[in-house]
Amino acid sequence: MKKSVSVSILSADFLELKNELDKIEKSNADMLHFDVMDGVFVPNISFGFPVLDTVNKYTDMHLDVHLMITDPLKYIDECVKFGADTITIHLESESDTEKTLDKIKKSGVKAGLSVKPGTPFEDAIPFMDKIDMLLIMTVEPGFGGQSFMEDMLDKIAAAKKYISENNLDVAIEVDGGINNKTGKLVSEAGADILVAGSYIFKHSDMNEAVSSLACL
């Protein structure tokens, strides 16, 4: 079964962002993954809504926005305004999870829920009927280029089992250290969407890199 590929622009060359976007569009990638970090929820600051707005005006690709911020509820309207197609929040954030997911859904975009490596899948179960996508982190969020945490495979498998047993229409997205080898592992465990940045942008052939993940 073909996997969806979400290309993380955190690893792009921002001096050449237009050219990078052109190359992504010509590949077989399905989405652009957009990491928003506030320097508080995670120990790094990335980019915000002006970049999202600019990218949205340039491309028609699905914008997969991952909010690694302390209080995502405050920023849902801005995410929607500037082009997000999917908005993923963290279970561990300070916002009320149910209220935030409800606001995302009422805004007419897809809702995602993410869990850090240290958070068990079971903590997400109360919200599984409110989301379109579960994002399982296979690195500690905050920086690109980290090594894949293989012990997260059991969490992916547990989530897949729960989704299947409860007949839920929820995709599993996996982010962190994804390449053609780790992508195979998470795909076998149950992942539907693979987020990759460093692997794709550092590859000599972006089309080949994306295809190597999509066909897993």
Known catalytic residue at 175 = yes
From 30, 35, 64, 132, the catalytic residue:
35
pLDDT tens-digit map of 146-165: 789 999 999 999 999 999 99
The gap from C-alpha 136 to its chain's centroid, in whole angstroms, comes to 9
For residue 1, what pLDDT is reported? 66
Q: Which residues of the chain have pLDDT under 50?
A: none
Other beta carbons less than 10 A from residue 178's beta carbon: 27
- Tokens standing for 128? 């599984």
CA distance 125 to 98: 12
> Three-state DSSP class for 50?
helix
- The 3-state DSSP class for residue 153 equals helix
pTM, two decimal places: 0.96
Which listed residue (30, 132, 175, 192) is catalytic? Answer: 175
Q: Which domains does the chain have, with CATH numbers?
A: 4-214 (3.20.20.70)
